């Protein structure tokens, strides 16, 4: 059955009111329902063509601009609006920070419903572009065509692309010429691989037929200047694989770590794959306050190194350590926060569910001559039990930095049971953080809150909260 035409109405002269979740903006339709509109800025007045109607809202796109918001700026990236990445590039940075701080406040007030102190001002990022230390690109033999190209009668040449997935389209890749998220030589490396592969007629991946040689590209950079490149091949073709890798290493001798993986699985995740070192060493080094952290192809490391340093300083400041405390660092990852606070603590215990991350954490602690940190592998809700605490001592301070879905209820119960004096809660999702704060409210009072912007030009925001025993 065809879609009813009533789904596709045009609303005229609609004022965009607010920046909503996931980087889309929010307006009100004449019937009072909410309209979600991408690529507009609060303050714009637009005509909206709706393409989806639900009980409580519409989704639409701006088809005509009557007035432009004072908060609008010209996006600097040629791919803006098609690429799903930097959705807020058309909004002044000061406004981006305003909406991020607002979102955290709304979540903590509406979902948490706990008593809150006055918020400290969100910490903006000094770099608003070229701040990411890790980028992943996909190869495809059916690149996304622009409307202009689709309407053209000219031969479009080869359809190979190396870039990003078009939002909500798993098989369409936008060919990226210049991305403003990672410092050079990131763009140069990506463009060189594509040009070389095209020149030598190497097959780009076909996601529908599951064929082709070149599948994905990952580039990691560090503030130390070290560079890691990992190419994922679909077919196991030694001659062509080495052709690409040798050319790349010759062209960019500054690559510290050149690795590859041959992955013929349905999905392109590398976490269950055997990664092969081709040239250099299998890790790069990141540095922070004299501490060195090795990062391998599978490591989790905060994606904005400079801002991670600022985030960790706030975390350490909130913990208020004197050198006498036992600190537990839950969801420790590769132990960066644990080691960062260790010189101000008596002992730090890090717990994490990913075994490789804990191996990294131990290796990093050894490299940094840190002797008061211990790291343990396990599912937090299982490991973090009475026996564990009896063995390692009751924590005076807990630092927790859980994944997006927040802490498991069993972990919260355990924190409430052992009642450390302070809990510093670092979160990349203030909605689940707010839910957890409500669960801890019986024993803990929120005494400090500071959002931190790790991802300029996007709607994402981190938040640090200090909880103290009532």
CB atoms within 10 A of CB 230: 24
CA angle 265, 294, 258 (to 5 degrees): 50
Q: Single out the catalytic residue among 77, 86, 373, 428.
A: 428
- In angstroms, the CA 291 to CA 374 distance is 16
Instruction: List residues bridging with 444 in a β-sheet.
Output: 469
From CA 29, how far away is CA 14, in angstroms rounded?
Answer: 7
Sequence ranges of the binding site for S-adenosyl-L-methionine: 302, 331, 352, 401
**How far is it, in rounded angstroms, from Cα 348 to Cα 315?**
14
**In Å, how far from its chain's centre is CA 285?**
20
428 in catalytic set:
yes
Q: Within 13 Å and on the Cβ side, how many CA atoms surround 70?
A: 0
| Alpha-carbon 308 to chain mean position | 12
Q: Is beta strand 444-452 parallel, antiparallel or unpaired with respect to 257-262?
A: unpaired
Q: Which neighbouring-strand residues pair with 295?
A: 284
Binding annotation = 302, 331, 352, 401
DSSP-assigned states of every residue in 183-235: -TTHHHHHHHHHHHHHHTTPPBPBTTTTB-SEEEEEEEE-TTS-EEEEEEESS
Q: Rounded to the nearest 5°, which phi and psi values hold at 149? A: -65, -40
150, 144 in Cβ contact below 8 A? no
Burial class (CB in 10 A: 0-12, 13-18, 19+), 111: middle
Bridge partners of 121?
none
Active site residues: 428
């Amino acid at each position: 059955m065809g879609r009813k035409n009533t789904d596709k109405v045009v609303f005229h002269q609609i004022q965009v009111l607010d920046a909503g979740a996931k980087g889309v903006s929010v307006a009100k339709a004449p019937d009072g329902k909410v309209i979600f509109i991408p690529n507009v800025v609060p303050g714009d007045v637009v005509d909206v063509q709706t393409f989806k109607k639900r009980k409580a809202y519409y989704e639409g796109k701006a088809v005509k601009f009557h007035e432009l918001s004072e908060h609008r700026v010209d996006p600097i990236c040629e791919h803006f609006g098609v690429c799903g990445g930097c959705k807020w590039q058309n909004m002044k940075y000061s406004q981006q920070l305003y909406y991020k701080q607002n979102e955290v406040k709304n979540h903590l007030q509406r979902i948490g419903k706990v008593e809150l102190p006055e918020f400290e001002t969100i910490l903006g990022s000094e770099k608003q572009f070229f701040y990411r230390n890790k980028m992943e690109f996909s190869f495809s033999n059916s690149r996304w065509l622009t409307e202009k190209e689709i309407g053209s009668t000219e031969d479009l040449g080869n359809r190979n692309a190396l870039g990003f997935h078009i939002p909500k389209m798993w098989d369409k890749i936008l060919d990226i010429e210049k991305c403003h998220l990672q410092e050079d030589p990131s763009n140069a490396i990506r463009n060189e691989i594509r040009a070389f592969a095209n020149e030598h007629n190497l097959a780009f991946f076909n996601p529908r037929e599951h064929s082709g040689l070149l599948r994905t590209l990952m580039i990691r950079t560090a503030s130390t200047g070290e560079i890691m490149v990992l190419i994922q091949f679909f077919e196991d073709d030694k001659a062509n694989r080495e052709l690409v890798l040798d050319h790349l290493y010759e062209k960019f001798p500054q690559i510290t770590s050149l690795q590859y993986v041959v992955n013929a699985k349905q999905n392109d995740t590398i976490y269950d794959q055997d990664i092969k070192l081709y040239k250099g060493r299998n890790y790069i080094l990141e540095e922070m306050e004299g501490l060195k952290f090795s990062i391998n192809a599978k490591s989790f490391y905060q994606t904005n190194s400079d801002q991670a340093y600022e985030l960790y300083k706030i975390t350490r400041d909130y913990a208020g350590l004197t050198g006498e405390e036992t600190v537990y660092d839950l969801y420790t990852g590769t132990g960066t926060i644990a080691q960062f606070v260790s010189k101000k603590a008596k002992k730090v215990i890090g717990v994490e569910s990913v075994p490789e991350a804990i191996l990294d954490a131990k290796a990093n602690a050894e490299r940094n001559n840190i002797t008061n940190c211990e790291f343990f592998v396990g599912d937090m809700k299982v490991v973090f039990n009475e026996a564990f605490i009896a063995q390692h001592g009751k924590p005076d301070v807990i630092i927790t930095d859980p994944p997006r879905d927040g802490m498991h209820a069993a972990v919260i119960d355990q924190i409430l049971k052992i009642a450390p004096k302070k809990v510093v809660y670092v979160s990349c999702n203030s909605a689940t953080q707010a839910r957890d704060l409500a669960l801890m409210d019986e024993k803990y009072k929120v005494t400090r809150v500071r959002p931190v912007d790790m991802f300029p030009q996007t709607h994402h925001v981190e938040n640090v909260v200090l909880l103290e025993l009532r």
